[in-house]
Structure 1
Amino acid sequence: MKILWDLDGTILDTWPTLVEAFTILAEKDLPYEEVLPHLKYGTAYEFYGVDKSLVTKFREIERTLSNERKPLFPYVKDVLSNADVNVLVTHRNRRSTEELLEHWNLGANFEEVICPADDGYSLKPDIHAYKYLHDRYGLDLAVGDQSTDLIPAKKIGLQTCSFREQNEYADQIIQCYSEFTYK
């Protein structure tokens, strides 16, 4: 199986550190449960009145938080190891992505990694990075935790797997990678 992956919230449990970084950036005492959906759906900056031009600062704050606090989801390494091809599209910048992949010894699992802002692509759900990877590797499946991960996959004809989230664009939904099926 040839799989296109998202990183945050799909391979690594980074949402807690992403929420923490946003709370630091906003300079407000914000409850995790309130901030999380706004971050996931791209409404946090507007909702909390934070200037969108600070997104680079947000990413830098999050990058400085310990990588140990951004753990792998259980069994994801098994899926990565058993796939024929793995590629990655993440909204993280190249530096942060490479640091995380190195920290968790994941780099060798990926044929190619695209960080749209660094690699000349538009952010997801734009299809161009997905189309490039599909044309190059003949992908079968995209795995992600948000609609922005799955919409471009559906548009280019890939099967989709939503991780830990109900999603109208998902062909299958799993809560744990021990449930992953190689079809």
Structure 2
Amino acid sequence: MHILWDFDGTLFNTYPAFTETMYKLLKPEIRKEHIFEQLKVSFSHAARTFELTEEDIAVFKKQEKALSPVLKPPFPYAEEVLRYASKNVIMTHKPRNEVEAILKHYRWEHYFDEIVAGDDGFPRKPHPAAYEYLHRVHRIDLAIGDRELDILPARELGIKTCLFQNDAAGADFYLNDYRLFIDKIAASF
């Protein structure tokens, strides 16, 4: 099975660290749960919702980049799914150097045949260009992401989709825990 992975919120549990970083920029009466919900839509959505200035955005990005990979751990059992797959690729908006630093910290670099990162020149999701490229080169069987915008390009290309910890309509499969991958998804291929 060839799997295309999103990074933040799918392979790595980064949103709690992102939430904490944004919380420090905002008024204390804004609940962390509300920040988390907005960030899960997208960073630009959260920035608009909380009326972040360009300066606020620059501060957030600088602080987020400085966070230790220890604060961005992999989701439990994701590594078992990586081992199960015959090929794994990543498509993320995150800059390549940040992706590689986290993968190196957890010694996961060897699991991935290719990474398309946010600074590689492809249009942002949900534009399908990066997915088209990865599918052409690697013949993707399944795209896994935590947000609807992660699965829209795959659906457009006829690739099976899985939403992780998200029950929005439109995915072929849904997982809240990677322990269930073999029973719920792998058996379908």
- Contact 1:19–1:32 (Cα < 8 Å) also in 2: yes
CA distance in 1, matches of 2:58, 2:91: 18
Q: Percent identity?
A: 35
Superimposed CA distance per residue, residues 47-78 of structure 1 (whole angstroms, 9 cap, x where no aligned partner): 11102575454233112122112111111101
- Contact 1:125–1:149 (Cα < 8 Å) also in 2: yes
Question: 1:53 and 1:172, CA in 2 relative to 1: closer, same or farther beyond 3 A?
Answer: farther
What's the CA shift for 1:5? 0.1
Q: SS where residue 137 of structure 2 aligns?
A: helix
Superimposed CA distance per residue, residues 96-117 of structure 1 (whole angstroms, 9 cap, x where no aligned partner): 111111111111100000113x
- Which residue number in structure 1 is paired with residue 135 of structure 2? 134
- Which residue number in structure 2 is paired with residue 3 of structure 1? 3
Q: What residue ranges of structure 2 are gaps of 5+ in the alignment?
A: none
Q: State TM-score, norm by structure 1.
A: 0.93
- Contact 1:3–1:141 (Cα < 8 Å) also in 2: yes
Question: 1:52 and 1:148, CA in 2 relative to 1: closer, same or farther beyond 3 A?
Answer: farther
CA distance in 2, matches of 1:64, 1:28: 22
- Which residue number in structure 2 is paired with residue 39 of structure 1? 39
- Contact 1:59–1:92 (Cα < 8 Å) also in 2: no
2:146 alignment partner AA? D
- Which residue number in structure 2 is paired with residue 162 of structure 1? 163
Question: 1:157 and 1:148, CA in 2 relative to 1: closer, same or farther beyond 3 A?
Answer: same
- Which residue number in structure 1 is paired with residue 89 of structure 2? 87
Pairing partner for 2:98 from 96, 99, 123: 96
CA distance in 1, matches of 2:134, 2:83: 19
The alignment covers a number of residue pairs equal to 181
2:78 alignment partner AA? V
- Contact 1:45–1:52 (Cα < 8 Å) also in 2: no
Superimposed CA distance per residue, residues 15-73 of structure 1 (whole angstroms, 9 cap, x where no aligned partner): 1011122223x343232101111112132111111025754542331121221121111
- Alpha-carbon RMSD across the aligned residues, in angstroms, is 1.5
User: Is residue 106 from structure 1 mapped to residue 108 from structure 2 by the alignment?
Assistant: yes
Q: What residue ranges of structure 1 are gaps of 5+ in the alignment?
A: none
Q: SS where residue 52 of structure 2 aligns?
A: coil
Q: State TM-score, norm by structure 2.
A: 0.90
